[in-house]
Structure 1
Amino acid sequence: MDKLKGIKVLIVDDEPAIIDFLTMGLVNEGFEVMSAADGMSAMNLVKAFQPHIAVLDVMMPGMDGLELSRMLKKTSNTAVIMLTAKDEAELRVKALIEGAVDYMIKPFSFEELLARIYARIPNRFPHLFDEVVLSPIRIDDRSREIHYNEQSLKLSATEYELLKFLVLRRTVLSKTRILDQVWGYGFYKEHKVIRTVLGPGYRVDVA
């Protein structure tokens, strides 16, 4: 995104290669990024940096990701995405109980992590989305208008929510998820209702 009003991401992992990989990718996406190799160092950064998103490894020396997530839950509004090499239901449940909003198994794709970050920001920090620019689209949530090449689109309330949802997610979405998110749970009319042309050069592929 060209403009997301300074979204800050804190990466905490004891593997330098993962920190370098995520930092490079997130900075390239326009995020502000800081990193730490352990929980205590991360806590020292939190007060000054005030991250919106924290990507935490579960297994770290000293304070592990679960304890760090618990502390963040008590002291900040940071949304925690947990990373772990262990695919165990008990650990996933514990991570969510300790304050994580999402959970990913290593190895993971950067695109999936990015999609999960974008999915969490609007609900956790709605004030950051007063205006979002993804050239050539500009979303003004205050006036509930979407501009394409600085020309206001004539959209109904539902069309506005649908286009905003698609633009902000930037990933493949199921028909059911789109219908649930935009029209509400239980809406299962003909799926052709969401096959919409957004503009020149834009295509929506719905799984």
Structure 2
Amino acid sequence: MRILVVEDEPKAGNYLLSGLQELGYSVDLARNGVDGLHLAQEMNYDVVVLDVMMPGMDGWEVLRRLREHADTPVLFLTARDDIADRIKGLELGADDYLIKPFSFAELVARLRTLMRRGPPREEELLQVADLQIDVLKRKVTRGGTRMTLTNKEFALLHLFATHVGEVLSRSMIASRVWDMNFDSDTNVVDVAVRRLRLKIDDPFELKLVHSVRGIGYRFEAES
């Protein structure tokens, strides 16, 4: 399950990130509303944990804009036990809320409930042309040949395979695979893509990874 946490308070954000990761969830942490909205619109999450009171773009505005395009379950975190705030959040499209301070066990229980209501889990087996990815076993084969990938190469391939036909920017890839802001002077994305191509593309006539000049990469079966 993939969770997005949007929390500007460093201690609280780090606490949620580490706690949820220890339970085996894939977690992204945004430390402000602008970054949180960007991630929520770019990636597919099973649930979003959204703090209300943030400088700049607050949780209300993040939720309002998110609901224009997506119905991802959202759990609001609020420091104010105000019925008007709770009603406002629910009217904007929040699915649940918790009042700070809260029990981590209760947070997890509520998240599990929301995720059961949300979209179906991602496919455990992904296939593009003759490439197969067993997500749970982290097993990759192409044309019946087993591919040995590093953790980052697998993460990169999984990102590509869940966005078939889409043009992914270098900044988006860097954010998702390396949890870093992309620096145009850094070629980490291009180097990783080159290494992945050596394994999954170069030995085969049908190419899957395609460069999009000035932007990034597209993943699809194209001769």
Question: Shorter-chain TM-score category?
Answer: 0.5 to 0.7
C-alpha distance in structure 2 between counterparts of 1:95 and 1:26, whole Å:
24
Is it true that 1:128 corresponds to 2:121 in the alignment? yes
Instruction: Tell whether 2:53 aligns with 1:68.
Output: no
Q: Give yes or no for contact 2:41–2:66 (8 Å, CA) kept in 1.
A: no
- Distance in 1 (alpha carbons) for counterparts of 2:41 and 2:60: 19
Partner Cα distance (2:31, 2:121) in 1: 28
DSSP 3-state at the match of 1:35: strand
Q: Find the partner of 1:86 among 67, 77, 80.
A: 80
In the alignment, is the contact (CA less than 8 A) between 1:122 and 1:129 conserved in 2? no
Q: Distance in 2 between matches of 1:128 and 1:36?
A: 23
TM-score normalised by L of structure 1: 0.57
Aligned counterparts of 1:42 and 1:129: Cα–Cα separation in 2 = 21
Aligned partner of residue 95 in structure 2, secondary structure: strand
Correspondence for 2:105 among 93, 106, 111: 111
User: C-alpha separation between the residues in 2 aligned to 1:60 and 1:130?
Assistant: 34
More deviation, 85-94/66-75: 66-75
Supply the RMSD in Å over aligned alpha carbons.
1.7
Q: How do residues 10-21 of structure 1 correspond to structure 2 at under 5 angstroms?
A: 10-21=4-15
Q: How many angstroms does 1:129 deviate by?
A: 9.1
Once the 2 structures are TM-superposed, how far is the Cα of residue 70 of structure 1 from its aligned partner? 1.3
Q: What does 1:1-207 correspond to in 2, within 5 Å?
A: 7-125=1-119, 127-128=120-121
Q: Is the 8 A contact 1:66 1:98 kept in 2?
A: yes
Q: Deviations over 1:60-82 (max 9, x none)?
A: 01110011111121212211100
Structure 1: which 5+ residue stretches go unaligned? 1-6, 132-207
Q: Which has the higher strand share?
A: 2
Give the drift of 1:49.
2.5
Amino acid at match of 2:69: T
**Number of the residue aligned with 1:191:** none
* Aligned residue pairs, count: 124
Query: What amino acid sits opposite 2:82 in the alignment?
Result: E
- Residues of 1 paired with 2:3 and 2:98: CA distance? 16
Distance 1:77 1:121 in 2: 12
Query: Is the 1:52–1:77 Cα contact (8 Å) retained in structure 2?
Result: no
| Highest RCO, 1 vs 2 (Cα 8 Å, sep ≥ 6) | 1
Residues 93-149 of structure 1 show CA distances to partners (whole Å, capped at 9, x for unaligned) of 001111110010000011000000011111222x22999xxxxxxxxxxxxxxxxxx
The DSSP-based 3-state class of the residue aligned with 1:120 is: helix
Q: Secondary structure at the match of 1:74?
A: coil
- Offset at residue 58 of structure 1 (A): 0.5
Q: Check conservation: 1:122, 1:128, Cα contact below 8 A.
A: no
